[in-house]
Structure 1
């Protein structure tokens, strides 16, 4: 018998990821900021695919575009592409050990950077700084703690028994 997830957890995790994306960083570290929203959306698409999929990714992306003041639809497209790939390979990815999942998430985050470059080239927007290509590596390293934290909250392992 599966336990229902707390109804507050998904919105709170998305809001938390949005806030982490807004936190100020020194200018030299700005391009190294991990894509927190992608990590949270990836978690929910993997763990709750019946309720949260492409529509969820699109809505979260539009909210992020409005929150960050970025090009309207850019993050929505990025998150939908990631969610589509995750849905396609979810059956395999779900049962990988966490370290292998990390590598797959790193690949998805690298793909996200390629999507960003394609959008910027198509629209004539200046390209990403070279250090921005390290952000997927940071996101890959953060996947395990993010996954474990959200999983513990979702499954109620944080409560005392």
Structure 2
């Protein structure tokens, strides 16, 4: 039986993802900001599915809407769709090599961009600037490092716990 990480690690990392949403970046880089909250959610859905699920994705999305000032419910819907897809294919994704996981996360983040585009168009805001499409590419590049960092943290905390 494997032990799951404590709640403070999971929710602390998701809180960090929320902080990254409001971290000031230069104008050009701001549009290409990787969706770290979604990537953290993907990791915890893969590694701690008993603690993180659709409800966590929904609440994290509502909080992300509040802190970033987006249409209320937009990120909640996007994260719930992402969480559903990760849960649906969890058995396969967990055992992919890291580069294939990175490709799957890229596809999930690209799907997220398409949902965001559909929401913007339905709300009458028009299409987002082209630089926002760099976000999934940066997520693809960051996924292996993020996965290894969180895995190392999770394993160290498991060794320390009684």
- TM-score normalised to the size of structure 2? 0.93
For 1:31-110, list aligned pairs within 5 A: 31-110=31-110
1:62–1:73: 8 Å Cα contact kept in structure 2? yes
Structure 1 residues 64 and 142: alpha-carbon distance in aligned structure 2, compared to 1, 3 A threshold = same
Moved more, 3-12 or 84-93: 3-12
Root-mean-square deviation over aligned CA pairs: 1.6
Structure 1 residues 78, 7: CA separation in 2 closer, same or farther (over 3 Å shift)? same
Distance in 2 between the 1:97 and 1:18 partners? Answer: 28
Query: Residue 114 of structure 2 corresponds to which residue in structure 1?
Result: 114
- The secondary structure found in structure 2 opposite 1:59 is helix
1:6–1:154 CA contact under 8 A, matched in 2: no
For the residue of structure 1 that corresponds to 2:89, the secondary structure is helix
Distance 1:32 1:81 in 2: 21
Q: Which has the higher mean CA deviation after the structures are superposed, 111-120 or 48-57?
A: 48-57
SS at match of 1:154: helix
The alignment of Structure 1 onto Structure 2 pairs a total of residues equal to 160
8 A contact 2:103–2:140 mirrored in 1: yes
For each residue in 1:34-61, what CA deviation from the matched residue of structure 2 results, as whole angstroms up to 9, or x when unmatched? 0010001111111111231111100110
Cα deviations by residue, 1:61-110 (Å, 9 ceiling, x for unpaired):
00111111111000000000100111111100000011100000000000
Q: TM-score, normalised by structure 1?
A: 0.93
Which structure 2 segments of 5+ residues have no match? none
Structure 1: state its 5+ residue gaps. Answer: none
Cα pair 2:5 2:48 within 8 Å, conserved: no
Return structure 1 stretches of 4+ with deviation > 4 angstroms: 157-160
User: Could you tell me how far 1:157 is from its partner in structure 2?
Assistant: 6.6
